[in-house]
Structure 1
Amino acid sequence: MIKKVAVLTSGGDAPGMNAAIRSVVLAAHHYKLQTIGFYSGYNGLIEDSSTPLTPASVNGIIHRGGTILKSARCPAMHTEQGLKLAAATLEKEEVDALIVIGGDGSFNGLLALNQHWTGRIIGIPGTIDNDIDGTDFTIGFSTAVNTGIEAIDKIRDTAEAFERIFIVELMGRRSGHITFNVGIACAAEQILSFENFSQDDEQEKLSHLAKEISRAQQNRHASYIIVIAENLWRGGATELARQLKETANIDCTACILGYIQRGGSPVAKDRILATKMGVAAVQELIAGNDKVMIGERNNQLLTVPLAVAVLHKEKVSENLVSAQENILALTAQ
Structure 2
Amino acid sequence: MKRIGVLTSGGDSPGMNAAIRAVVRKGIYHNLEVYGIYYGYAGLMAGDIKKMELGSVGDIIHRGGTMLYTARSEEFKTLEGQKKGIEQLNKFGIEGLVVIGGDGSFRGAQKLTEHGFPTIGVPGTIDNDIPGTDFTIGFDTALNTVIDAIDKIRDTATSHERTYVVEVMGRHAGDLALWSGLADGAETIVIPEADYEMSDVIARLKRGQDRGKKHSIIVVAEGVGSGFEFGERIKKEMNLETRVTVLGHIQRGGSPTAFDRVLASRLGAKAVDHLLTGKAGITVGIEKNELVYHDIDEALSRKHTIDLGMYTLSQELSI
Tell me the equivalent position of 1:216.
Answer: 208
**AA matched with 2:292:** L
Preserved contact between residue 166 and residue 245 of structure 2 (Cα < 8 Å): yes
Kindly state the Cα deviation for residue 87 of structure 1 after the two structures are TM-superposed: 1.3
Q: Which runs of 5+ in 1 are unaligned?
A: 199-204
Aligned counterparts of 2:310 and 2:61: Cα–Cα separation in 1: 32
Aligned counterparts of 1:301 and 1:183: Cα–Cα separation in 2: 28
Q: CA RMSD in A?
A: 1.3
Tell me the equivalent position of 2:70.
Answer: 71
Preserved contact between residue 145 and residue 181 of structure 1 (Cα < 8 Å): yes
| Deviates further, 11-20 or 45-54 | 45-54
Tell me the equivalent position of 1:150.
Answer: 148
Aligned counterparts of 2:204 and 2:291: Cα–Cα separation in 1: 44
Preserved contact between residue 5 and residue 37 of structure 2 (Cα < 8 Å): yes
Tell me the equivalent position of 1:206.
Answer: 198
Q: Does 1:180 align with 2:172?
A: no
Preserved contact between residue 176 and residue 315 of structure 1 (Cα < 8 Å): no
Kindly state the Cα deviation for residue 315 of structure 1 after the two structures are TM-superposed: 1.4
Kindly state the Cα deviation for residue 31 of structure 1 after the two structures are TM-superposed: 0.3
| Deviates further, 102-111 or 265-274 | 102-111
**AA matched with 1:220:** G
Tell me the equivalent position of 2:217.
Answer: 225
Tell me the equivalent position of 1:202.
Answer: none
Preserved contact between residue 113 and residue 280 of structure 2 (Cα < 8 Å): no
SS at match of 1:266: coil
Q: Does 1:328 align with 2:280?
A: no
**Partner deviation per Cα, 1:61-102 (whole Å, 9 max, x = no partner):** 000000000011111112122111111111111110010000
Tell me the equivalent position of 2:188.
Answer: 190
1:1-333 mapped onto 2 (5 Å cutoff): 2-116=1-115, 118-197=116-195, 205-233=197-225, 236-325=226-315, 327-330=316-319
**AA matched with 2:205:** I
Do the aligned partners of residues 31 and 260 (structure 1) sit closer, same or farther apart at CA in structure 2, a change above 3 Å counting?
Answer: same
Kindly state the Cα deviation for residue 191 of structure 1 after the two structures are TM-superposed: 0.5
**Partner deviation per Cα, 1:191-233 (whole Å, 9 max, x = no partner):** 11122225xxxxxx22222232233234331320000111202
Preserved contact between residue 122 and residue 290 of structure 1 (Cα < 8 Å): yes
SS at match of 1:213: helix
**Partner deviation per Cα, 1:114-152 (whole Å, 9 max, x = no partner):** 333x33110110011111111111100110110100000
**Partner deviation per Cα, 1:262-314 (whole Å, 9 max, x = no partner):** 10000000000000111111111111111011111111111111112223423
Aligned counterparts of 2:207 and 2:308: Cα–Cα separation in 1: 27
**AA matched with 1:191:** I
SS at match of 1:244: helix
Preserved contact between residue 127 and residue 138 of structure 1 (Cα < 8 Å): yes
Aligned counterparts of 2:163 and 2:137: Cα–Cα separation in 1: 32
Kindly state the Cα deviation for residue 104 of structure 1 after the two structures are TM-superposed: 1.1
**AA matched with 2:182:** I
Aligned counterparts of 1:126 and 1:58: Cα–Cα separation in 2: 18
Preserved contact between residue 75 and residue 81 of structure 2 (Cα < 8 Å): yes
Aligned counterparts of 1:157 and 1:41: Cα–Cα separation in 2: 41
Preserved contact between residue 13 and residue 137 of structure 2 (Cα < 8 Å): yes
Aligned counterparts of 1:322 and 1:212: Cα–Cα separation in 2: 14
How high is the TM-score relative to the length of structure 2? 0.97
Aligned counterparts of 2:113 and 2:180: Cα–Cα separation in 1: 37
Preserved contact between residue 45 and residue 88 of structure 2 (Cα < 8 Å): yes
Tell me the equivalent position of 1:201.
Answer: none
How high is the TM-score relative to the length of structure 1? 0.93
Q: Which runs of 5+ in 2 are unaligned?
A: none
Aligned counterparts of 1:213 and 1:318: Cα–Cα separation in 2: 22
Kindly state the Cα deviation for residue 318 of structure 1 after the two structures are TM-superposed: 2.6
Aligned counterparts of 1:191 and 1:258: Cα–Cα separation in 2: 17
Aligned counterparts of 1:177 and 1:272: Cα–Cα separation in 2: 20
SS at match of 2:5: strand
SS at match of 2:98: strand
Aligned counterparts of 2:131 and 2:61: Cα–Cα separation in 1: 26
